[in-house]
Structure 1
Amino acid sequence: MASRPNLSHLLPAPRLRQLARDWLQEDAPNFDYGGYAVGDRQECAVLLCKSPGVLAGFPFFEAIFAEVGCSVEWLQSEGAWVEPITRVAEVRGQAKDLLLGERVALNCLGRCSGVATLTAKVCRGAREVGWHGEVAGTRKTTPGFRLPEKYALLDLHPTAKTLKTSFPHVIVEASGGITEDNITQFVGPNIDVISLGCLTQSAKVVDFSLKISREPVPKPPLRNFVF
């Protein structure tokens, strides 16, 4: 099986950092009472996927936790279909930092995975009736969240272009009112692209949770400092 391309290379690092900062700033409380309560002890939290779907949005999840000083170790591959309950990743850091990044990171991962999952279902429906054109999204995206939603479309974006006998360089697109249920009515040998706003507007989020692991977290090695 061919390995999946690393789509994270499409995302400029400064753009990722800025998005993570903006989302965290929007969500962060004026006073972090939760962080005050849990303290700065080192913890390992396990990311669990609790509903079936396609995993997407890893770079955004990582950027959010990197911004609060936590590290992420993935146990699954982006673009993979998983069934509940699946251990997807382990996140390590101080308890207060895990709590600070948790909700923002889960919201982003759930939304991206929801878009990728719906896209997978639509693509499968089109392929089952023998159409090999391109399924695409539209500009109907969530304000402030366009980049993650468009990125999620790439995880399940098979593009098998069919050259038409006449005018092979003309791209014919079908758009407007197309859904997962009626897409088969629009497929045909002369249609190259079918655009669906529902991929980003109506996608049901995939359910994730982040649970503190009960296994002991190894302490970081001591460092020698020379003065």
Structure 2
Amino acid sequence: MTTPTDFSTLLPQTNIQPFIREWLKDDMPTFDVGGLVVGSDVKKATLYMKSPGVFAGKPFVDAVFDILDCKITWEDIAVEGTYIDNKGGKIVLATVEGPCNLLLRGERTALNTISRCSGVATACYLSSQKMKGLFPTWTGAVAGTRKTTPGAFRIVEKYGLIVGGCNTHRLDLSQMTMLKDNHIWACGGDITKAVKLARSAAGFSQKIEVECQSLEEALEAASAGADVVMLDNYTPEELKVDATKIKEQYPSVIIEASGGITYDTMDQYVCDAVDIISRGDLTHGYSCLDYSLKIQK
């Protein structure tokens, strides 16, 4: 089996530790009564994975316990991006050693993060595997959207998309210019004017995408210089017809299918003219995986 790509260098500890410090502070803003009870004697705790899925979020767990001056030792099985089937039991992923009060102070922040990151990665892994199985020659990709948890936690979900084998789409409003229906309506419905104004600021280095509800809108967007055309809320049959017509005239334009697409329906949108199939539910409808951290007796 191919070893998954190590994406951990995408998340330098100097970048993620500041917001993880905030999460730890938010979880314990004043007294640590539980920490008083357990004391500060050095203990060991075992990190268990209790449900099957893709293990993802290791850099965040490392950051939590590094901040708290606890040492974490990972087992060989704990390879980021690996689908682990625990067959209904629980698997030891790591051992964490440090003052007992600090182990428990980091417990919930670490578990909340890893369970959600793994949930996104698992949903993406299952989706990408399904598409590869059904359409081995399709060169397109499944992507998430900006329907993520607000604030710094969105980077956890975006990271999970990558680890699971899907595209992140935009990381934020500044990464790529997307002119949605509201932008176009606010400009009086003039797609060409909106695209050209966006290009005057975005320059050559940033892609511009336009959300379109019809073939006419899509052709106007492509003609105006849009790099990506989103066909939004189409039926699969209509989308394939219009996507093919757009590609015939503008073969270099990237075509994205979006709007209400799910795991069960995404295969219906696949054709040679469609480059991206995006799904908001990858980051707002995922199931969390079950992990636990137990102090060793």
* TM-score, reference length from structure 1: 0.87
1:137 aligns with 2:144: yes
Partner of residue 222, structure 1? none
Partner of 2:82: 80
Contact 2:41 2:100 in 1 (8 A): yes
| Among candidates 115, 122, 126, match of residue 117 of structure 1 | 122
Give the Å deviation of 1:213: 2.4
Partner in structure 2 of residue 98 of structure 1: 103
Distance 1:12 1:111 in 2: 20
Paired letter, 1:155: V
Compute the displacement of 1:172 (Å): 1.1
What is residue 22 of structure 1 aligned with on the other side?
Answer: 22
Q: Supply the AA of the counterpart residue of 2:11.
A: L
Q: Which amino acid aligns with 2:85?
A: E
Q: Distance in 1 between matches of 2:34 and 2:143?
A: 41
- How far 1:2 moved relative to its partner? 4.5
User: How far does the alpha carbon of each residue in 1:178-198 deviate from its partner, in whole angstroms, 9 at most, with x for none?
Assistant: 111111111111111111110
Partner SS, residue 109 of structure 1: helix
Paired residues for 1:41-190 under 5 Å: 41-75=41-75, 76-84=78-86, 85-130=90-135, 131-144=138-151, 145-157=153-165, 168-190=251-273
What does the per-residue CA deviation read over 1:5-40, in whole Å, with 9 as the maximum and x for residues that have no partner? 321111233221112111111111411011111111
Displacement of 1:96 in angstroms is 0.3
Q: Could you say which structure has the larger radius of gyration?
A: 2
**Counterpart AA for 1:129:** L
Structure showing the higher helix proportion among its residues: 2
Q: Distance in 2 between matches of 1:73 and 1:191?
A: 44
Match of residue 286, structure 2, among 183, 203, 223: 203
- What is the letter of the counterpart of residue 41 of structure 2? R
Unaligned runs of at least 5 residues, structure 1: 215-227
Work out whether residues 42 and 97 of structure 2, in 8 Å CA contact, stay in contact via their aligned partners in 1.
Answer: yes
| Percent identity for Structure 1 against Structure 2 | 44
Q: Is the 8 A contact 2:144 2:166 kept in 1?
A: no
Asked if structure 1 preserves the Cα contact closer than 8 Å seen for 2:125 and 2:166, the reply is no
| Aligned residue type for 1:128 | G
Aligned residues of 1:20 and 1:63 also touching (Cα < 8 A) = yes
Aligned-partner SS, 1:73: strand
* Alpha-carbon distance change, 29 to 45 in structure 1, aligned in 2, over 3 angstroms: same
SS in 2 for 1:172: strand
Measured on the aligned residues, the alpha-carbon RMSD in Å equals 1.8
Partner amino acid, structure 1, of 2:51:
S
